[in-house]
Structure 1
Amino acid sequence: MTILSRRGFLAAGASALTLPCLPRPALAQTPPISLAAARRTLDIDGRAATVFGLSGPAGQGLILDPGQRFRVDLTNTLDVATIVHWHGQIPPNAQDGVPDAPMPALAPGETRSYDFDPRPGTHWMHSHIPTQEMQLLAAPLIVRAPEDLAEDRQEVVLFLHDFSFKAPKEVLEEITGGHGMAHAHGSAGGGGEPGAAGGGMEGMAMGDMAMGGMAMDLNDYDWDAYLANDRTLTDPEVVPVERGGRVRLRVINAAAATVFWIDTGGLPARLVAVDGHGVEPVAGTRFGLAMGQRMDLQIDLPAEGGAWPVLALREGARERTGIVLATPGAEVRRIEPQAEAEAPAFDTDLAQESRLVTRDPLPVRAADRSRVLMLGGSMQPYVWTIDGATWGRHSPVEAASGERVDLSFHNMSMMGHPMHLHGHAFQVIGVNGKAIAGARRDTVYVPPMSMVTVAIDAGEAARWMLHCHHMPHLATGMMTEFVVTAAA
């Protein structure tokens, strides 16, 4: 999924690209952009698959330019009700896109208008009904900053999914019944340094990862395919690039239940943003990305021609997907969808998260409130909880608008949890009790038997969702609320 470079855009004189590409809309603010929740058909390894999607003026996804408002008319063309969450954006609560919180889902044929000032960065949009997200009702949402227009670089989007030909209800039944866990006890790898080959624990057998004497659970379902821009490695997207050019790779993990390592192989990269917020650059060739998270990588291409795979490696497994960056005329060789060895577990020691330093820190101030949330659960019975409770029996996190809240996620389960907060961008300020000046995020990954602390400045007085972005965990109740009241 590629976006034209500034130079290429001016030369081409075009403003919209086809599906593997995203449009660059004109700056005019009227009329509103039309977006449709719709069915579409993909060819996945030679087999037709009917999935959902979010279709804009030029295919899946939207791009907004600096200063452009998010003015969208969303139409539900499906035969079922749906609603879309603008992940990473901070709209008015009524436009946040959660069923009945406060607005109901859109009925088939219904259109709803959205209008707010968007936050720049790499974001995405998806149904907030877990089974629909598992049916690929999601798409990139890129809001460009002024420097994106000023820089002479090519922008490429890498949008990741896991996919099953089975109906989501059947997938969930298999997972909750304990029949979908061929890789439940995953890899021996440790978190390692972001630029390393993934770290690892020498001498420990694969499939027998242990933490504190307990087996670590990585993947609870073997999906039929792992998609990069709706394609597998049997027919990957080949993105044309220039010799000696610069690429900003915007990576979005839209998978339902898969953590990926992003591996640039022979291309040194610099991690320059996470969840739409700039960080001090971190050099490397392999970076981890949990569900719901995004990262921007800056890549300087060699002066000579060539073809360079950028792969997404499934945590704790051999499966992989990806795209290929290639100069004109370069030979593109076949890439096997199975690696020779399993990829390690992601960031079990929080090494990657600890290295991230935001370029946009929250103001330094004392916390008005502090709260620890205990993340728990197990594979059998398949139940995942916050403070021992599932949704409907939850105890909300409470704050008044304008208050600073220090929130600690303490994971006592043997699966990692990407925790996502609606309506806010927080800052990571602690990992396992060690204070850091970490990244600004909206989704933070909490590995097993670990604790991550974030600082939040409470925003609009409203009820905001706070949940795990592992869809089967969410579907079985791993969600609470961040309830903000008006300041006294």
Structure 2
Amino acid sequence: MTLISRRGFLAASAATLSTAALPRFAMAQNAISLSAATRVLDVNGRAATVFGLEGPSGQGLVLNPGQRFRASLTNRLDVPTLIHWHGQIPPNEQDGVPDLPQPMLQPDETRSYDYEPLPGTYWMHAHIPLQEMNLLAAPLIVRSAEDVAADRQEVVMFLHDFSFKAPEEVMQEITGGHGGGHDMSAMGGHAAPGASMDHSGMQMDMSSMQGMAMDLNDYNWDAYLTNDRTLSDPEIIMVEKGGRVKLRVINGASATVFWIDTGGLSARLVAVDGHAIAGLEGSRFGIAMGQRLDLDLELAGEGAWPVLASREGSKERTGLILATPGATIEKIPALGEADAPAFDIDLSQELKLRASDGLPSRAPQRSHMVMLGGSMQPYVWTIDGKVWGDHKPLLAKTGERVEIMFHNMSMMGHPMHLHGHVFQVVDINGKRFDGARRDTVYVPPMAMVTVALDAGEAARWMLHCHHMPHLQTGMMTELSISA
């Protein structure tokens, strides 16, 4: 998915200038139409019907600098749904969690949204795990004035994992028929007594963990997609000789951590989760579910450059190809030569990230420790030993500086996502530092990660693992903020 080229920018700029001359009330009438609907993909030569989010120009939305998020969302599915604007901070009633506070959108129903968006690389998805597993997700790109002024092409790399089986059947296989029946669509169910298995009493450290088996992947998907395509027929994006590219990587996968490999291209990581960081040079960066990476790429001369996303702990991969006109494009196998390593067990990548614009220094007025637990048998994942519906909210007051320490006592990593807030990573395994600003932080097995935030709107804001099978079995709590 390419957003705009350098030459296309000139036409777009002229259109923006002419739009700027319109009366404000005229612009206010132009709500963007967005539809949740079914679509058909070709996955390795086989047709697959999946969900999607269709905007005026295809899957997803792109907003220009200063443009409000004014959208009319229509449900064209035959089931109720609701969309969450991941990483954005709309008013709580527009946040998109079923029944908290708005009910789900019924078939053929339309609902309006209107808020001032944060600039950067974001995405949107159903806050119903089984629907997100069926690809009800798409990019949400909010361009900045700097993006418009920059002499570079913008490309989106939207990653997903895919199964030909229905999500309900996938969950049955993952759970072995146990623990997968927790109804997260209504967000109000209770798990059966004794269903959760809390490991928070286990005392372990990294040295003892090395001798234990980490659970990297709990399902082997049929395909791994970049912009809805596999490497058997990858998207080929035309680029200029010697040009510059801003690559916006979004991990929309249900349960897959990826390594992004730019190969022979020099890359500079400039933002995570939509927020600028001090640039980090490299050619390989990890990205957990729900997270985003902005990479600045420099193209040397003519040629074709694959950008690959390898699944951690295995050989499977996906990707796209950047190519100058007339370049020779070689076939890329869907399997790499060796298994990709586990991602960031020691959080060495996260420790290198520094926010360009961090939170003002303040002492925390409230601190919470959150224990992440669970197991593969029975397949139940918990926060503080509880599943959603039996959970105990984290409390705060609007304006308070809050610190949340995630302590992972399970053998799987958990990308933890907080709604309605941008937080800053401030401590990793007892090492204090001024880390990146994010909305989703990865907590590997037996690790401790602390984030700081200033409590926002008085409301109930969800806090959950962004691994969809974990969320489906109840791995969610809330940050309950009072005025």
The alignment's TM-score, normalised by the length of structure 2, stands at: 0.91
Please give the alpha-carbon distance, in whole angstroms, between the structure 2 residues aligned to 1:395 and 1:2.
43
Matched with 1:5 is 5
Where 2:403 maps in the other structure, the secondary structure is strand
| Deviations, residues 172-212 of structure 1 (Å, cap 9, x unaligned) | 01001189xxxxxxxxxxxxxxxxxxxxxxxxxxxxx9824
Matched with 2:214 is 216
Matched with 2:244 is 246
Please give the alpha-carbon distance, in whole angstroms, between the structure 2 residues aligned to 1:242 and 1:403.
49
Contact kept in structure 2, 1:29 and 1:68, CA below 8 Å: no
Q: Determine if the alignment matches structure 1 residue 413 to structure 2 residue 400.
A: no
Where 1:477 maps in the other structure, the secondary structure is coil
The alignment's TM-score, normalised by the length of structure 1, stands at: 0.90
Matched with 1:264 is 262
Contact kept in structure 2, 1:178 and 1:382, CA below 8 Å: no
Q: CA deviation at 1:58?
A: 1.2
Q: CA deviation at 1:480?
A: 0.0
Q: Determine if the alignment matches structure 1 residue 462 to structure 2 residue 459.
A: yes
Q: CA deviation at 1:214?
A: 1.5
Where 1:9 maps in the other structure, the secondary structure is helix
Where 1:82 maps in the other structure, the secondary structure is coil
Please give the alpha-carbon distance, in whole angstroms, between the structure 1 residues aligned to 2:383 and 2:60.
33
Matched with 1:198 is none
Matched with 1:391 is 388
Matched with 1:147 is 146
Q: CA deviation at 1:4?
A: 1.3
Q: CA deviation at 1:26?
A: 6.3
Equivalent of 1:441 in 438, 444, 453: 438
Q: CA deviation at 1:272?
A: 0.1
Please give the alpha-carbon distance, in whole angstroms, between the structure 2 residues aligned to 1:474 and 1:390.
9
Runs of 5+ consecutive residues of structure 2 not aligned to the other structure: 21-26, 179-206
Q: CA deviation at 1:3?
A: 1.2
Matched with 2:290 is 292
Matched with 1:228 is 226
| Deviations, residues 276-331 of structure 1 (Å, cap 9, x unaligned) | 000000000000000000010000100x2100000000000000000000000000
Q: Which amino acid aligns with 2:4?
A: L
Matched with 1:281 is 279
Q: CA deviation at 1:6?
A: 3.7
Please give the alpha-carbon distance, in whole angstroms, between the structure 2 residues aligned to 1:211 and 1:346.
15
Provide closer, same or farther for how the CA distance between residues 210 and 236 of structure 1 changes in structure 2, counting only shifts above 3 A: farther
Where 2:285 maps in the other structure, the secondary structure is strand
Matched with 2:376 is 379
Please give the alpha-carbon distance, in whole angstroms, between the structure 2 residues aligned to 1:441 and 1:422.
11
Q: Determine if the alignment matches structure 1 residue 340 to structure 2 residue 337.
A: yes
Contact kept in structure 1, 2:242 and 2:299, CA below 8 Å: yes
Runs of 5+ consecutive residues of structure 1 not aligned to the other structure: 17-24, 180-208
- What CA RMSD, in Å, does the superposition of the two structures yield over aligned residues? 1.7
Where 2:453 maps in the other structure, the secondary structure is strand
Q: Determine if the alignment matches structure 1 residue 79 to structure 2 residue 81.
A: no
Please give the alpha-carbon distance, in whole angstroms, between the structure 1 residues aligned to 2:107 and 2:155.
33
Q: CA deviation at 1:165?
A: 0.3
- Matches of residues 99-248 of structure 1 in structure 2 within 5 Å? 99-177=98-176, 211-248=209-246
Q: Which amino acid aligns with 2:174?
A: I
Please give the alpha-carbon distance, in whole angstroms, between the structure 2 residues aligned to 1:210 and 1:175.
27
Matched with 2:481 is 484
The percentage of counterpart residues that share the same residue type is 71
Q: CA deviation at 1:213?
A: 2.5
Q: Which amino acid aligns with 2:140?
A: L
Contact kept in structure 2, 1:9 and 1:15, CA below 8 Å: no
Matched with 1:204 is none
| Deviations, residues 319-350 of structure 1 (Å, cap 9, x unaligned) | 00000000000000000000010000000000
Please give the alpha-carbon distance, in whole angstroms, between the structure 2 residues aligned to 1:367 and 1:481.
19
Where 2:374 maps in the other structure, the secondary structure is strand
Matched with 1:255 is 253
Please give the alpha-carbon distance, in whole angstroms, between the structure 2 residues aligned to 1:104 and 1:13.
39
Provide closer, same or farther for how the CA distance between residues 11 and 93 of structure 1 changes in structure 2, counting only shifts above 3 A: closer
Contact kept in structure 1, 2:304 and 2:329, CA below 8 Å: yes
| Deviations, residues 128-163 of structure 1 (Å, cap 9, x unaligned) | 000000000010000011100010100000000000
Matched with 2:194 is none
Q: Determine if the alignment matches structure 1 residue 331 to structure 2 residue 322.
A: no
Q: CA deviation at 1:9?
A: 3.0
Q: CA deviation at 1:5?
A: 2.3
Contact kept in structure 1, 2:87 and 2:122, CA below 8 Å: yes
Contact kept in structure 2, 1:7 and 1:152, CA below 8 Å: no
